[in-house]
Amino acid sequence: MADRNFLVAVVFGILLYSIAGIPPLAGFYSKLCILLCLLSNNYIVISVIIAIFSSVACFYYIRLVKILSFTSGRKSLFWIGDSTKHVEFIVALFVSVICLFLLRPSLLLNSATIAAISLM
């Protein structure tokens, strides 16, 4: 996929790394906040179970990035379409939000805290 559409491959890789919980992307901070809340309320068993399942899922996400980036041929081909301006804008928006944690993690964390408090 990286040979045919490099931009989509990079963006998809960043999104998969975020879902896997690789720091300093958004997925890492969300998993960290959930685990810290569980540990502060003494839910140790649930925290260990989540950490184990997150580690297993991380293996599969990184394996998918490896297959998409380093495997050539028809086996790795699952979607290579013509991108339009709307698709490129949406993809750029998602990557910008995820990478915003690199520059200002407190901005999104404060926004999420305010949103969670307003729901209660």
Secondary structure element (H or E) that encloses residue 27, with its range? helix 26-40
The one-letter amino acid at 72: S
pTM of the complete model: 0.61
Secondary structure element (H or E) that encloses residue 8, with its range? helix 6-20
What ranges do the domains of the chain cover? 6-119
DSSP labels, 51-83: HHHHHHHHHHHHHHHHHHHH--SGGG-S-----
The pLDDT, as a whole number, for residue 76 is 45
The pLDDT, as a whole number, for residue 73 is 60
**Cα-based distances in Å from 2 to 7, 13, 77, 93:** 8, 10, 10, 20
Predicted confidence pLDDT, tens digits, the chain (120 residues): 667 777 777 888 888 888 888 888 888 888 888 888 889 889 999 999 999 999 999 999 888 888 877 776 655 445 555 556 677 777 778 878 777 777 777 877 788 788 878 876
69's CB contacts (< 8 A; 6+ apart) are: 1, 2, 9, 13
